[in-house]
Amino acid sequence: MLLQLVSAVTALALAPAAPPNRPADHSHRAPLAGERIAIDPGHNGANGAHPDQINRTVPIGNGQRKACDTVGTQTASGYTESAYNLSVARKLKRALKAKGAKVRLTRKDDDGVGPCISKRAKIGNRFNADAAVSIHADGGPPSGRGFHVIYSTRIQGLTDDIYRPSRKLARALRRSYARRTGIPPSTYAGSNGLDARSDLGGLRLSDVPKVFIETGNMRNAADARLLQRSRFRKRIAKGIFFGLRHFLHRR
């Protein structure tokens, strides 16, 4: 032990001093370098004022149609889901870019209409995303709280190609989101924080692994209190960030 210590000290003493102003070490890549993430903040701030535009239907595959977009929910004190979704999306984008990922958002402000759900899916597809996540907060029953992650059921010719990786992504997000935020899995939707649905155009039309995350219930007082705090939204973004990172590293 002592001998080891002595030789370590000697080795240290003999080591040449680091040259001054050594250039930064770029030999190891940023942890998410080369990864492409599409982030879709659900709804948009002017949707409510333009029902004609958002109620027109768009194709969502297999001959079915659905409204272009919807208004979204809000907390009892009037904090809108569309503003919340964008806030979380921006924080998530910052975290991902800091680790070298390439990020594409489906909208950049909260003053517009749409884009339609079909366009939102297309943006992720064109970006050739390694993973796509649509960020929402739910308008559930006031007595129910918690989050759930939605992935598409397997639909022949539509989602059969992305079903498995999307389910994997959903599971990774469920785990890290619960851990990082402490928000419980939904008490009123899905099962254990997961829900498989066949009706969401944004998932049906995706050609890249994609999920929706309902990050909490805006109509529930306990969830709303958390979602309304900017500092807590940072934690929410981190919860999503670590789920994405886990998924991307385990593919």
Is 214 assigned a catalytic role? yes
**Closer by beta carbon to Zn ion, 212 or else 242:** 212
The whole-angstrom separation of Cα 147 and Cα 185 is 5
Candidates 37-45, 93-101, 180-188, 197-205 — which segment interacts with Zn ion by CB under 5 A? 37-45
- Residues binding Zn ion: number (CB under 5 A): 3
Q: Is 190 an interacting residue with respect to Zn ion (CB under 5 A)? A: no
Q: 82 near 47, Cβ under 8 Å?
A: yes
DSSP class of 70: -
Q: Which of 91, 136, 174, 210 binds Zn ion (CB under 5 A)?
A: 136
Q: Is 202 an interacting residue with respect to Zn ion (CB under 5 A)? A: no
Strands (E) located in the chain = 36-41, 57-59, 65-67, 102-105, 131-138, 148-152, 194-197, 210-217
**Closer by beta carbon to Zn ion, 36 or else 136:** 136
Joined tokens for residue 36 = 């492409």
Strands (E) located in 200-239 = 210-217
Joined tokens for residue 20 = 């001054």
Contact map string, positions 217 to 236, toward Zn ion, x by CB under 5 A: --------------------
Candidates 31-39, 70-78, 160-168, 242-250 — which segment interacts with Zn ion by CB under 5 A? 70-78
Nearest to 144 by CA among 74, 232, 218: 218
Q: Which residue has the tokens 């999503």?
A: 240
Q: Identify the active-site residue in 130, 138, 214, 223.
A: 214
Q: Which of 42, 124, 140, 185 binds Zn ion (CB under 5 A)?
A: 42
Interface with Zn ion (CB under 5 A): 42, 72, 136
Residues tagged active-site:
214
